[in-house]
Structure 1
Amino acid sequence: MTAVSSRPEERLPYGGRRALVVDDDDMVAELVRLGLETQGIEVVTAADGHEAEERLTEMVPDVVVSDINMPRMDGFALVSRLRADPLTRNVPLIFLTSLDGSEDVAHGLRLGADDYVRKPFSLDEVVARVVAKLDRPSVSVDTMVNDVRTSLLGRAAMENEVHREIERVRRTGRPSALALIDVDERALLRERLGQRADEELGMQIAEAVTNAASPLDRLGRDEAGRLLFLVSDEHESGTRTRLRDLAEALAGQRLVVAGEPVRVTPVVGWVSLDDASSELAAAEVLDRALAAADAASMHLDLQPVRWSTDLVPTEPRQPGGLRRRMTALRATLRTPAQVLLSLLLGVVAPFFLYTGLYLLGLDVSGVMYPAVVAALLITAVSIWTEGFLALKPDRPPEEPATPYPAASAVIAAYLPNEAATIVETAEAFLRQDYPADLQVIVAYNTPRPLPVEETLREIAARDPRLVPYKVEGSTSKAQNVNAALARVTGEFVGVFDADHHPDVTSFRRAWRWLSSGYDVVQGHCLIRNGDASWVARTNAVEFESIYAVSHPGRARLHRFGIFGGSNGYWRTNLLRMIRMHGSMLTEDIDSSLRVVESGGRIANDPGLISRELAPTTLQALWNQRMRWAQGWFQVSMKHMSRAWRSDALTLRQKLGMSFLLGWREVYPWISLQMFPLLGFLAWREGGLADLDWLIPLFVLSTLFTLSVGPGQTVFARKLGAPEIKRQRFWFLRYLIVSSVFYTEFKNVIARVAQLKEFSGEREWKVTPRPVSRPAQGVEDD
């Protein structure tokens, strides 16, 4: 029902009373009107709920008498809309209907009806019930002890409970918290299915939360239909775990709303009562829980958000001229200082440690030298092993015998940086050769309106498969993807960045994996602008070594794959459960490892190709790889112990996880250790000229380690995509650049990324997307 909050409550003069009678049977409506008018009650009639809504925009009655079975809008929908409108939520409603089943009576009362009279009826009884409702002072829904639809505590009663809980926590020191639980899809379902759907959704959520509550917990519902959950005697970690488990359970539950199966995205905000002062009003505690829920609704990753002062908006202080210049200077010098610090920690500090121990009579070089050599050899052996295993990658299963299901694509975009390529990308997806329904969602965020938004809407009007979806307030890819899941209709969904152009048969090929028992399949990301600069050409060859060699080889070696962020295809229900966590800089790696740890299967398919744009400048490449490296470090710290605790992983997979997560973070530091060792040995022996450089262990290990770069380049050329393999000089230049500069460039980034993470410096820099040219037009240089 459309409510105009500024609408005046038009009433009769003092003492006058007005009723709205709603019935599609003119004879019944006229009979009730005559009976009520004998009691001095003015009567307005309507033939159905839709017409009743029109009457309610003209006046607010003192009572409503309504049939249930009516055309256009039935009585159940009408009472739901009455209770949703602040101006009519307290108006008594009496059902007058031929529906006499006990379940109909119960449903009507749960929706907010005050009384229920069955047809055929006694007119005197109906008039008496109406007069009784008018003579009894109305009670505000907000002040009722229990919510009329769910029997949970109402807002006022929950405020009393919160106040008592704060006092109990202050006296006893026992922990407690208040959570607010809502559903992100509520407005969308209400818009599509009506207010009755919203009430049905609320009652099912209330039932699920009630079943998860302990005897000490208390449950309520506020005036907007959100659940209030008072958690008693539970420490912070326990509260967070309970709320997260509850959110994940709700996300995995299939609800039925207005006869349709739906899946929902719970958003949970909570506030600890442990440090709440006795002067803090209960209403303010509820407001804090709501603010935390609002923050959770920005991420939609099923993670409960705890209220803190960081959620309180503050006016930014504008620094003065000198202070602003000093701040800019510190930001400019921060990264060079971190690079220097990494060298001090990786080279200078070990050298002084070795010399200091030697002066104290302890020479550790005899142990450290073979240890460093062994570490370098382990890395080299693993790279060679991945290359040989990649020669026989896992192949996709045969075409499924069953029909292809509906599919969806989610393209996450930050338009100010990606406006130049998003239209081209959308049109590339609409050219997909897929034999079933294909939905293409462009989930984007932008701080300001852009002309490209209108272009996307025009394409959507021409081809309804395209769904432009602006994610308000989003600041990350994770938020865009999570928000888009509410609109995904496909049984499986491909996740892509804004510059990706998948092969026209990609969705067919992906379903061959997913229909054969896999949960996720990661494809081969191919650079399509390699002719743009030497940086892009380097990326093009490097991506072949990653997606055509390392990923498939590692998947065979360790018996698990990973999702690398784009050109990945998920079972939709699984992605709805796993989500992407916006707190992670590489939310894609984090989500895939959570799949693996829970026993899911991820395939790597080098033949599942999508073409993307590479950074074209060294600065853009630095920003991109810094985020990747810092994100990997976050993932490593989070998942190392989780992998070993997982019951779903085999010992081989756990060892693979340790190598993937632990060794990759240690190796950039180990790769430096030969320098301080040689420096120490030269100092000990009196100079570099006095060292024996022909020690077999040193010579052989050096040659084998140096062979990794050429070997990886050879594997990349052999296994790479044909359009890249044609560029034979790209591979030669890559070998030279990587040997002289690029390998250590990436190691520097990895070391600095760890320092940034430890210092709390986390910044998401979206890589600008250049205007592309078709990869097929590249000439061999």
Structure 2
Amino acid sequence: MTSAVAEPAALLAAPGRTALVVDDDEMISHLVSAGLRAAGMTVVTASDGREALQRLAEAVPDVVVSDVNMPGMDGFALVSRLRAEPATRAVPLVFLTSRAEASDALAALRLGADDYVRKPFDLTELVARVVAKLDRPPVPVDQLLHDPRTGLLSPSAMAAEVGREVERAGAGGRQGALAVLEVAELSPLRARFGARGEAELALQVAAVLGAATTAVPGARLGRAQDGRFLALLPDVAPDRVHELLAEASQEVVRRRVTVAGEALDLTPVTGWVALTDVVGAEHPVDPDADPRGAAGTGERAVALAATAAGAASMHLDLQPVRWTTQLGGVPVPAQAPAGPSRWRRWRSAVRTPFQVLLTLVVGVVVPFLVYVAVWRFTGIDLGPVAYLVVVGALVVTAGSIWVEGLLALDPVRPPAETGGPHPRASAIIAAYLPNEALTIVETVEAFLAQDYPGELQVVLAYNGPDRLPVEDALEAIAARDPRFVPLRVEGSTSKAQNVNAGLAVVSGEFVGVFDADHHPEPSSFRRAWRWLGGGYDVVQGHCVVRNGDASWVARTTAVEFESIYAVSHPGRARLHGFGVFGGSNGYWRTDLLRRTRMHGFMLTEDIDSSLRVVEAGGRIANDPALLSRELAPTTLKAVWNQRMRWAQGWFQVSLKHLPRAWGSPHLGLRQKLGMTFLLGWREVYPWISLQAYPVVAYLAWRSGGLQNLDWAVPLFVLTTLFTTSVGPGQTLTARRVAVPEIRRQRWWFLRYLFVSSFFYTEFKNVIARVAQIKEFTGEREWKVTPRSVVVAGAPPVPGPRDGSGS
């Protein structure tokens, strides 16, 4: 090593700087100190790491030069302590050591050292390296303006940027938003891949966000202190914010982020807050946050957007959630909970009967008064025209039902098996345990008994307010059979949330979605793969009632399900050129379901998800031979609640998807007409079916009484015969194509024909009309469908009544 100490001073200078030299070798310590003093520095020495910490406590130096091998506390422990303390984490540290292995140098640099000089050394070079660190001091990553790899703004820089934009929004009422994006699987990703995995994830997510916000002038991207991604979108309208963030989420799912060479399925969760809403949120969410200045305002905005992201994480449906005061985050005065008043209880009790009466007034009384008023004030007789319209509508409906029935006699069959290996498959069973606690173990065992040649994973995604004894039984099954994965979804309030959460653990190439009372045929997954392996994206099976002996309501539903799943669905799929997914006993390509998700804000999230697939050009098959047996409601009240949710959900879907279907470039004219009939006509027809009453009443009024009407008009007689033939025709068709155990029940079909002709059909029409009123008035309620447990030789045992159910 060089012993001269004057040469470095002639070449380098760092006057006024302080250095801490740490070495247990006095000769080395003296030599290094002399070289640094010659460069104009003040030098403090220490013989080991512990003494160095004492010197650091007295005064923080500008640079540290330290040996590695020292008694008491070595250099590696010392640098770890320095980097852990805010006051010293930015102080440059140069190691001077005899440890020459490359692994030692790598360990030192990984711990936070800024340079690594091996002994023997050249003093001039050492001093030059030290002075260079002083001239260009290191900056911790979180203090950089931008992350060097991703280009994202640091947490502090991003908070300041957000704060300034919020102030501009408050001053000028400008639009804009701050979004928080996180990855639901980040914790297991960190545990599995460590810091490297998170770094690779950040790089790819940053690229997606950058591409999604390219068209937004002034957009800034950054990260929060906890690692979540931030997107500042100034001067962007709320609808556009939602659209941009939804596209970014879809792109994250579509790209399948790669970490350590492995493609991962991730679930992005996004929340956002409008900048003008941050202005109105006067109190910071974090009591420790500084409420003054741009940075404090920015931190408050991040906290509000994170609150919205927390709400989005409950659904996992790829839909961005906007922060509102209902989500919390801003202190509000505490109020004692108040029970419903007597007026509210009375109003709740009479609301539905009033709505039924209102549909009769709107559907019968109002048209009658219109016909009378038009005649009296203008002399125009609308009766004949209205009569022809009603007759035409009834004929069109009856004709479509006949066509569906005839087409259902020869349904499309799945492609033949190719003979190749079957891919890994998964099942997601969505359950609410207080409601399905008595049936769920039997259901899980039925799935584990599937005859599928490939690997089969069974995921039970369930929610519930309290732990139940049945969960011990489920855990015992999981311990016995590794194919079974029980997944408790905390905070879930819907089937959609459970299914979306289940996708995080699904490993199959395709996945079947089921309610908790379903028992699929042993060969179901094998048959479903014939469709999916043959080019289809989704296949809907045939749901069969397995508790028809429970009550007359269950028997009626059993025959009705044969009319729906064995006749209407396959016939309509052939007629319109597309099928629909009906909530259970449906099989999806896993990657498609991950991109599509189910939206819990829709009452029929299943229909909504399938129509989004159809509108995007996907193929949905309907297979009446793909069987799964389920439990039907056993009381009329349960049917009312179930069908009310179905009807209101269909109305939501119709309002949302009919315009989208006509605007879809992926649908042909035949499919668009099919969508019109499926979504538009189904909502209009329940009202048209009422119009016979005001038309006949008006014609009788015009003619002086019912006795003066000519009932033998050929058109009336023929159309009446044709429309009344629909019920018997559909019932006979249903019996012909029904599953054997239902087909054998001849009297069930005869009773169904009688009940549907004189009561049940209009009962469902009433539900459809009331459902529309409930949707328009904002009354949305998901009432449970009680389950009944089938026990041989015993009456049915009803399941618990509280929960979300299906």
Partner residue, 1:353: 370
**Preserved contact between residue 550 and residue 795 of structure 2 (Cα < 8 Å):** no
Distance 2:482 2:672 in 1: 45
Shift of 1:159: 1.6
- 1:89 and 1:582 map into 2 onto residues whose CA distance is 47
SS in 2 for 1:393: coil
CA distance in 2, matches of 1:455, 1:221: 43
**Secondary structure in 2 matching 1:242:** helix
Contact 2:614 2:620 (C-alpha < 8 Å) held by counterparts: yes
Post-superposition Cα deviations, 1:661-699, rounded to whole Å, max 9, x if no partner, equal: 000000000000000111111112111111111111111
Q: Do structure 1's residue 250 and structure 2's residue 252 form an aligned pair?
A: yes
Q: Which of 303, 306, 316 matches 1:300?
A: 316
- Alignment-derived partner of residue 22 in structure 2: none
Equivalent in 61, 68, 78 of residue 33 of structure 1: 68
Q: Is the 8 A contact 1:98 1:118 kept in 2?
A: no
Superposed CA deviations along residues 145-177 of structure 1, whole A, max 9, x for unmatched, are 334653311122112111221233345554211
Q: Which residue of 2 aligns with 1:67?
A: none
Equivalent residue, structure 1, for 2:337: 318
1:236 aligns with 2:238: yes
Matches within 5 A, 1:55-454: 61-63=80-82, 115=114, 117=116, 143-147=143-147, 150-171=150-171, 173-214=173-214, 215-274=217-276, 276-277=278-279, 281-312=297-328, 317-319=336-338, 323-360=340-377, 361-454=379-472
SS in 2 for 1:464: coil
Find 2:74's aligned residue among 32, 43, 48. 43
Distance of 1:486 and 1:686 partners within structure 2: 70
2:55 aligns with 15
Structure 1 Cα separation of the partners of residues 777 and 147 of structure 2 = 49
Q: Does 1:720 align with 2:738?
A: yes
Greater Cα shift, 334-343 or 275-284: 275-284
Distance in 1 separating the partners of 2:160 and 2:335: 36
Q: SS of the counterpart of 2:715?
A: helix
Q: 1:479 to 1:14 in 2, by over 3 A?
A: same
Alpha-carbon distance between aligned partners in 2 of 1:97 and 1:569, rounded to the nearest angstrom: 60
Following superposition of structure 1 onto structure 2, how do residues 760-779 of structure 1 map, counting pairs within 5 Å? 760-773=778-791
- The 3 A distance-change label for structure 1 pair 716 and 146 is same
Structure 1 distance, partners of 2:219, 2:154, is 15
- Of the three residues 473, 487, 497, the one matched with 1:469 is 487
Tell me the percent identity: 60
2:657 alignment counterpart? 639
Deviation at residue 211 of structure 1 after TM alignment: 3.0
Distance (whole Å) between structure 2 residues aligned to residue 210 and residue 741 of structure 1: 59
Q: Structure 1 pair 745/146, CA: closer, same or farther in 2 (3 Å)?
A: same
**Residues 1:97 and 1:161: Cα distance change in structure 2 (over 3 Å):** farther
Shift in alpha-carbon separation, 1:216–1:114, aligned structure 2, 3 A:
farther
For residues 539 and 170 of structure 1, do their structure 2 counterparts lie closer, same or farther at Cα, with a shift above 3 Å needed?
same
Residue identity opposite 1:512 in structure 2: R
- Cα 1:283–1:687, aligned 2, differ >3 Å: closer, same or farther? same
SS in 1 for 2:544: strand
Taking a change above 3 Å as real, the CA distance of residues 292 and 528 of structure 1, as seen in their structure-2 partners, is same
Aligned partners of 1:62 and 1:134 also within 8 Å: no
2:531 equivalent in structure 1: 513
Write the deviation string for residues 349-387 of structure 1: whole angstroms up to 9, x where unpaired: 111111111211222112110000000110000000000
What is the CA-CA distance between 1:204 and the residue it aligns to? 1.8
Contact kept? 2:415, 2:530, Cα under 8 Å: yes
What secondary structure is seen at the aligned counterpart in 1 of 2:789? coil
Give, as a single letter, the amino acid of the residue that structure 2 aligns with 1:189: L
* Equivalent residue letter for 2:606: D
- Tell me the CA shift for residue 750 of structure 1: 0.4
1:330 and 1:130 map into 2 onto residues whose CA distance is: 81
| Contact 1:521–1:605 (CA under 8 A) maintained in structure 2 | yes
Distance of aligned partners of 1:166 and 1:735 in 2 relative to their CA distance in 1, 3 Å threshold: same
Counterpart check, 1:665 vs 2:683: yes
Q: 1:60 to 1:348 in 2, by over 3 A?
A: farther
CA–CA separation in structure 1 for the residues paired with 2:619 and 2:497 = 24
1:232–1:98 distance in 2 versus 1, CA, 3 Å: farther
- Name which of structure 1's ranges 205-214 and 371-380 shifts more when overlaid on structure 2: 205-214
Structure 1 letter corresponding to 2:74: V
- 1:77-120 Cα deviation digits (max 9, x unpaired): xxxxx8xx9999989898999779xxx99x999x9956465989
In structure 2, what is the Cα distance between the partners aligned to 1:440 and 1:89? 49
How far does the alpha carbon of each residue in 1:189-236 deviate from its partner, in whole angstroms, 9 at most, with x for none?
223333432232222212221233325210111111111101123222
Q: CA deviation at 1:766?
A: 2.5
Amino acid at match of 1:533: S
**Is contact 2:538–2:621 with CA below 8 Å preserved after alignment?**
yes
User: What is the rounded CA distance, in whole Å, between the counterparts of 1:33 and 1:269 in structure 2?
Assistant: 47
The one-letter code sitting in structure 1 at the alignment partner of 2:266 is V
Worse overlay, 650-659 or 138-147: 138-147
CA contact (8 A) 2:79 2:111 kept: no
Match of 1:547 in 2: 565
- Structure 1 residues without counterparts, runs of 5 or longer: 1-9, 19-30, 46-54, 65-81
Tell me if 1:455 matches 2:455.
no
Q: 1:383 & 1:414 partners in 2: Cα distance?
A: 36
Q: Aligned in 2, Cα 1:279/1:246: closer, same or farther, shift over 3 Å?
A: closer
Match for residue 726 of structure 2? 708
8 Å Cα contact 1:89-1:141 kept in structure 2: no
Structure 1 counterpart of 2:361, which letter?
Answer: L
TM-score for both structures, normalised by structure 1? 0.85
User: Quick one: distance in 2 between partners of 1:534 and 1:134?
Assistant: 88
Query: Given the two structures, how large is their TM-score scaled by the length of structure 2?
Result: 0.83
SS state of the match for residue 287, structure 1? Answer: helix
The alpha-carbon deviation at position 308 of structure 1 amounts to 1.2
Paired with 1:340 and 1:710, the residues of 2 have a C-alpha distance of 30
* Paired position in structure 1 for 2:634: 616
Structure 1 residues 769-778 or 594-603, which shifts more? Answer: 769-778
Q: Provide structure 2 residue ranges, at least 5 long, that are not aligned to the other structure.
A: 1-49, 59-65, 283-296, 797-806
Distance 1:775 1:516 in 2: 43
Counterparts of 1:346 and 1:760, CA distance in 2: 21
Aligned length: 715
The amino acid of 2:338's aligned partner reads: P
Contact residue 60 and residue 87 of structure 1 kept, 8 A: no
User: Structure 1 residues 560, 301: CA separation in 2 closer, same or farther (over 3 Å shift)?
Assistant: same
Shift in alpha-carbon separation, 1:92–1:585, aligned structure 2, 3 A: farther
Contact 2:405 2:568 (C-alpha < 8 Å) held by counterparts = yes
CA distance in 1, matches of 2:660, 2:160: 41
Determine if the alignment matches structure 1 residue 681 to structure 2 residue 699: yes
- Paired with 1:776 and 1:442, the residues of 2 have a C-alpha distance of 28
1:271 Cα shift? 1.0
Question: Matched residues in 1 for 2:579 and 2:128: separation?
Answer: 72
What is residue 759 of structure 2 aligned with on the other side? 741
SS in 2 for 1:298: coil
Partner amino acid, structure 2, of 1:447: P
Q: Distance in 1 between matches of 2:92 and 2:606?
A: 52
